[in-house]
Structure 1
Amino acid sequence: MAPTETLESIIATSGPPPHFVLVPLVAQGHIIPMVDLAHLLAERGARASLITTPVNAARLHSVADGARRAKLPLEIVELPFPPADDVLPQGCENVDQVTDNDHFLPLFHAIHRLAGPLESYLRALARRPSCIISDWCNSWTAGVASSVGIPRLFFHGPSCFYSLCDLNASTHGLHERAYTSATAEAEGHETYVVPGMPVRVEVTKATCVGFLDAPGFEAFREDCLEAIRTADGAVVNTFLDLEEQFVACYEAALGKPVWALGPFYINSNRDAQSMTSRGRKTSVDQSAVTEWLDAMDPGSVIYVSFGSIAQKLPKQLYEVGHGLEDSGQPLLWVVKDAEAALPEAAEWLKALEARTVGRGLVLRGWAPQLAILSHRAVGGFVTHCGWNSLLESIAHGVPIVTWPHFADQFLNERLAVDVLGIGVPVGAALPVMLFGDEAVPVVRGDVARAVSELMDGGEVAEERRRKAREYGERAHRAMEKGGSSYENLTLLIQSFRLSGGKETRHTGLQKEQQEKQIMSC
């Protein structure tokens, strides 16, 4: 590519642009980064088609409208959702609509029946797409891509640290050893070292769990691992200045390209409405939240949110609230509608607000997280360690209190605390049920201690804040022209423009940087 030429100008003068078909899992934490990736591709001149179902497409109206206003080649493609069986409630098309743990398996069976509609859509196109980028959990896209003759990359949403741990654990039989150990079965606290990692990583039976590890999902997980093996490469939402050694080792373990393109959401050309919702309508008044934050001292507020899925029973909510109150810090706490709707919780939350008037704000529903994290008043974030939230906090330079719940979150915590040095663990050691757990694994003293330690003015806390700010600066540099993620995206799009997707081999910046790390894997 000549120095004076841009990728966009080359695409504009060299025939039809490459066409990427993105297929996220129907879960909000998986849809959001794929929407952001679709924007990145479209803004660089490629055509991006995001595949989803009617309920999820309705949530993405603002995204589609924003793309039209900006004249971006981004479209939301709606496929009919397969008819629900007798178990799955009618209209349940997203993981966050599930209200019973027994409904997850039927939902995944229904999702897999989208293979036929997707193949019909692809075959009806005037030109064959350049590439399918599908969520790791959507293993059913492998057969579709093979049948139609389209290269396929898989997208794995968590940290590359987690992805490498999970792959190595599967390859070396760590999951099986943990689950068959008599000691682990009896106590659940025996530790295991994850093999093949460039740093020492210890897990327990409880904390080495990942995606699709629940009983009944064994066949789904095997299909996903096979789909990884047959893919042409991987796309990850991270950046080399954050996880360079883990990206390199993941690429070596897979034996195929791993494209580090994140943080996906850092995109100055997105309009405020589409960035705020990103597939979910915020249920709070953002101007009121901003006004409240404006009245707080810089770096004084602790922000608390536990993602879109896990729900807490009132007795755990009480422990969270009392712990936040006891910490003495100004607090901004997001509580789900379903949690706040319970009569005993609703009454208690009102009492908490009365006790913390002037320094406490409780938001009910879906909050504008990016706007909150970017505000100067926010000095810390109590998070469930979902990768989207963790990466958003990193990119805004905000240190965290880590409270993992399930899946990848315990290993994301290890990355934040042990490797990056930007987090304080609340002390959660066991996974919890998605819809409330009778156990109360974290009590108010744990919450107050961790928040106080994070927000402390001492030397250790200041060093943690310094590291968080530095990673935030690196995140933005990665997405700027000349940065590692920006250039990797250039190479990815260019490879499909030049080869029609027949090769996904990447060269240049990412390869040069990763070769330095391979020897440590």
Structure 2
Amino acid sequence: MAAVFAARGARCTILTTPVNADIIRQAVDRANDANLRGTAGSKAIDISLMPFPDVGLPPGVENAMSLSSFQEDYRANFMGAVHLVREPFEQFLADHRPDAVVSDSFFSWTVDAAAAHGVPRLVFQGTSVFARSCNESMLTTTSSADDDPEALASLPGLPHRIELRRGQMMDPRKHPGPWAFSQSNNAADQRSFGEVFNSFHELEPDYVEHFHATLGRRAWLVGPVKIATKDSSNALSAKADASSCLRWLDTKRAGSAVYVSFGTVTRFSPAELREIARGLDLSGKNFVWVVSSSSGTDDWSQWMPEGFAELTAPHADDSRGFVIRGWAPQTRILNHRSIGGFMTHCGWNSVLEAVSGGLPMVTWPRYADQFYNEKLVVEVLKVGVSVGARDYASPMDAHEVIGGEVIAGAITRLIGESEEADLIRNKASELGVMARSAVEEGGSSYNDVGRLLDELMARRRSSIEAGEDVRRVPAAHGV
């Protein structure tokens, strides 16, 4: 997103901690190489470091990905750190006086901190406008009276009839901490200058209108940012299996393989992993499966079905599958001609990457906004098939085991030879075209970025005319 703003002339600074700075530094360098707009040799995007608070975490644990390798006891410490970075944040505002601050919804305190320094706070939403609207409906209308997890609950006030089972929703009694956290964040977001989404109007037009007109919220859709910046952050790493995977895909016919990945944090039990393996085998389709290190078991003998190793032998000419342990070049895999579908947990980044690639999805949500995103993919956009996940739980909690036969059925519905599969693929392809058009000059996201920066500049000029102290960074815009 910083690269998107920088491409339009803004000076951006990313304020983060040392470990996270190392993770993003290469992407920032690439963005700066593409946007040589700084004055006197300055960079379009800077990284400013703040210390990670001492909250009793092991060294190097500064984000949720690294936290997932440790016990649940550390999560409370980690969430405490979210509030303790307020002091260096406020010091940065006092020293630099930017024209705006973009902060994640989880940092709810930034709205008051920014206001104290006369800086408008923009909320970054790492999800869809659809999910944001569903969450707003849930937080304001959900009753806990029904204990039956299979009971259907309707989310009122939305453009479509959206129903979820109670077991697919956050329960304020089972999850009192996350519920209170969501309520607090939502209240802070409503007091902010507006919200910025990595999405585009054509993907969810009814919900953009709902967000503006019905909820009275200000929003700018500026994505898909990976397409807008031509970001190659999924470039091949030195890992042999990453490059071997693409060579293996080169041997398969177009649209014949399903890509299976559930993000960096989601955990699966050995029993679930076994059923995924069985489902991939039973489907008869080619597949690339990313088994995340956060799945909780490095002993594959606990779950690998008999014969599965032979199915995925990397050097066999007739192998149907390729398994990657840990990191994978997801964008490159999704854009490979042999991939015909994506089995995903419905995290928004993954959904948007599938949409951008014109790919249909097999949906398997687990927690957070993922059940909402599944509804958008399957019921509103009609570019997906659900495996039927029914239970909302944290990344660390156990889930219902879905059988291999069900998994295989969802895969074959998606990339099989049927009228339904053809319709889904055609709609997904159309969305891919829309995604690419949105970020081109004159497209909806391109125009939203311009409107946002114009509004911030108008606010700055108004402050100058009013005689306010505007010691700003020396740039056309500062974010």
Q: Output the TM-score relative to the length of structure 1.
A: 0.81
Q: Which residue of 1 aligns with 2:271?
A: 315
Q: Which residue of 2 aligns with 1:154?
A: 123
C-alpha distance in structure 1 between counterparts of 2:461 and 2:374, whole Å: 36
5 Å-filtered alignment, 1:54-453, equals 54-70=18-34, 71=36, 73-85=44-56, 88-98=57-67, 99-125=70-96, 128-171=97-140, 173-174=141-142, 177=143, 179=144, 181=145, 184-185=146-147, 187-209=148-170, 214-267=175-228, 269-270=230-231, 272=232, 274-276=233-235, 283=239, 285-339=241-295, 342-345=298-301, 348=304, 352-357=308-313, 358-435=319-396, 437=398, 439-453=399-413
- How far did 1:462 drift? 0.2
- How far did 1:170 drift? 1.9
Residues 1:459 and 2:419 are matched in the alignment: yes
C-alpha distance in structure 1 between counterparts of 2:174 and 2:450, whole Å: 36
- How far did 1:210 drift? 9.0
Of the structure 1 ranges 297-306 and 215-224, higher mean CA displacement relative to structure 2 is found in 215-224
C-alpha distance in structure 2 between counterparts of 1:353 and 1:329, whole Å: 16
The amino acid of 2:10's aligned partner reads A
SS at match of 2:304: helix
- How far did 1:214 drift? 2.9
Q: Which residue of 2 aligns with 1:514?
A: none
- How far did 1:62 drift? 1.0
The amino acid of 1:78's aligned partner reads L
C-alpha distance in structure 2 between counterparts of 1:263 and 1:458, whole Å: 30
Q: Which residue of 2 aligns with 1:14?
A: none
Per the alignment, do residues 313 and 148 of structure 1 end up closer, same or farther by CA in structure 2, a change over 3 Å counting? same
Q: Which residue of 1 aligns with 2:454?
A: 494
- How far did 1:102 drift? 3.3
- How far did 1:497 drift? 2.2
Q: Which residue of 1 aligns with 2:474?
A: none
SS at match of 1:348: coil
C-alpha distance in structure 1 between counterparts of 2:127 and 2:436, whole Å: 19
- How far did 1:383 drift? 0.3
What are the Cα deviations for residues 233-274 of structure 1, in whole angstroms up to 9, with x where unaligned? 11111111110110111123442321111111113554x3x3
The amino acid of 2:132's aligned partner reads S
The amino acid of 1:472's aligned partner reads G
Give ranges in structure 2 of 5+ residues lacking alignment: 37-42, 314-318, 464-479
The amino acid of 1:138's aligned partner reads F
SS at match of 1:82: coil
SS at match of 1:500: helix
Q: Which residue of 1 aligns with 2:471?
A: none
Q: Output the TM-score relative to the length of structure 2.
A: 0.88
C-alpha distance in structure 2 between counterparts of 1:133 and 1:101, whole Å: 29
What are the Cα deviations for residues 122-147 of structure 1, in whole angstroms up to 9, with x where unaligned? 2122xx21111111111021121011
5 Å-filtered alignment, 1:35-54, equals 37-54=1-18
Give ranges in structure 1 of 5+ residues lacking alignment: 1-36, 504-521
What are the Cα deviations for residues 79-118 of structure 1, in whole angstroms up to 9, with x where unaligned? 1111113xx4343211112233333222111111101001
C-alpha distance in structure 1 between counterparts of 2:345 and 2:179, whole Å: 25
Aligned length: 449
C-alpha distance in structure 2 between counterparts of 1:339 and 1:227, whole Å: 34
Q: Which residue of 1 aligns with 2:470?
A: none
The amino acid of 2:341's aligned partner reads G
